[in-house]
């Protein structure tokens, strides 16, 4: 069972990092192209700012999962620093579960928002993409964060890196 979970973790980590890297590359290439076209040819890509904005929104929400896995989210660790190691460990697990519950709740409400946006049929100004696709970043990212916080809570005792990550969450 543990081997399967490690494989899923590795695959999810690869997908998260690859997606974030591609989204960042798209945003940078589009911005550079837009600036170059404006400076040298007096042309502007009407959709460049919108696509860049959406790429960055998706990047931030997917990056939240990466941050949850590595313990990069903002946390208060005063109690963890003063408690005995065993209690600090349990506190870190509890904090990871609270964070998982919170992000799961945000994911639930995000899915509700996406379904409403789908019903409205609203499209973006320049690209004319369905807005529900843009808003899908919220439940996707929050689901990823919730999964990563759960991983931190359950694998703390088996992985020193996760212990460090979760202790920074407590």
pLDDT in tens, 58-76: 999 999 999 999 888 888 7
Cα distance between the two ends of the chain: 27
What integer pLDDT is reported at residue 71 of this predicted model? 85
Q: How many beta carbons lie within 10 A of that of residue 76, not counting itself?
A: 10
pLDDT tens digits for range 38-48: 999 999 999 99
Which pTM was predicted? 0.88
User: Mean pLDDT across the stretch 7-36?
Assistant: 97
Distances (CA, A) of 101 to 19, 57, 157: 25, 22, 20
Q: How many domains does one find in the chain?
A: 1
Distances (CA, A) of 18 to 74, 127, 151: 24, 24, 20
The pair phi, psi for residue 23, each rounded to 5°, is -65, -40
User: Mean pLDDT across the stretch 153-167?
Assistant: 60
> Tokens in use for 98?
């609270």
What integer pLDDT is reported at residue 145 of this predicted model? 98
Which is higher by pLDDT, 131 or 70?
Answer: 131
User: Looking at the predicted structure, is the pLDDT value of residue 86 above 60?
Assistant: yes
Q: Which of 67, 62, 69 is nearest to 150 (CA)?
A: 69
Range of 156's domain?
1-169
Which is higher by pLDDT, 54 or 89?
Answer: 54
Q: What is the percent of the chain where pLDDT is above 70?
A: 91
């Amino acid at each position: 069972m543990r081997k399967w979970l490690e494989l899923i973790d590795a695959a999810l980590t690869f997908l998260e990092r690859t997606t974030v890297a591609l989204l960042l590359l798209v945003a940078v290439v589009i911005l550079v192209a837009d600036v170059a076209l404006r400076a040298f040819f007096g042309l502007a890509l009407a959709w460049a700012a919108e696509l860049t904005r959406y790429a960055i929104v998706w990047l931030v929400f997917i990056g939240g999962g990466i941050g949850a896995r590595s313990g990069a989210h903002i946390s208060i660790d005063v109690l963890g620093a003063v408690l005995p190691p065993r209690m600090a460990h349990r506190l870190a697990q509890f904090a990871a579960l609270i964070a998982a519950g919170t992000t799961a709740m945000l994911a639930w409400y995000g899915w509700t928002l996406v379904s409403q946006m789908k019903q409205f049929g609203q499209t973006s100004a320049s690209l004319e993409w369905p807005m529900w696709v843009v808003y899908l970043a919220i439940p996707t990212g929050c689901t990823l964060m919730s999964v990563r916080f759960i991983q931190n809570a359950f694998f703390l005792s088996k992985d020193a890196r996760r212990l460090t990550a979760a202790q920074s969450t407590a």
